[in-house]
Amino acid sequence: MHANRNRAARVEYALPREVASARWARRLTSGFLGHPEMPDGVSGRVDEAVLIVSELVTNAVRHGNSRCRLRLSAAASGVTIEVHDDSPRTPTVQPLSDEAVGGRGMAIVGLLSRQFDITADRGGGKTVRAVLAGT
């Protein structure tokens, strides 16, 4: 990876439809965003980015019925996380509740993100994107 502290850095990973993909995605995200030549403002967002990646990749593997692609972009303005899978089903954001045992992941992603959207892809499937502001 080539990065310049004044320019954006990008990377894309293909992940198999396996439970272990979320673990690999967390490691890949930490390694990419933790690189010493990342643009200024990125280092303060690594933990949030890792949490978001974990949620989005877990959802893609569990509900997308396919492999998924993880794209990361980092610039001084922030970090963009995109996860694509082949399922046309869009994830739902459940209301936060003290009684809920699960289903909070997308709500957490929405709370941590400056921007959060889901786009149907022309070739099929969807891309879920979360943008974190730079620090």
| Interatomic CA distance for residues 4 and 25, integer angstroms | 23
Query: Closest Cα partner for 103 from 62, 71, 48, 70?
Result: 62
- The pLDDT tens digits of the residues spanning 2-36 come to 445 667 899 999 999 998 999 999 999 999 999 98
Record the tokens describing residue 91, joined without a space. 């994830």
Residue 97, Cβ density class (10 Å: 0-12 exposed, 13-18 middle, ≥19 buried): exposed
Half-sphere CA count of 65, side-chain side, radius 13 A: 7
- Domain locations in the chain? 9-133
**pLDDT above 90 for 47:** yes
Of 21, 29, 41, the residue nearest 134 (C-alpha) = 41
Cα separation, 102 vs 118, in Å, equals 21
User: What is the model's pTM?
Assistant: 0.88
Options 3.40.30.10, 1.10.3720.10, 3.20.20.70, 3.30.565.10; CATH for 9-133 is: 3.30.565.10
Q: Which two tokens stand for residue 95?
A: 């209301």
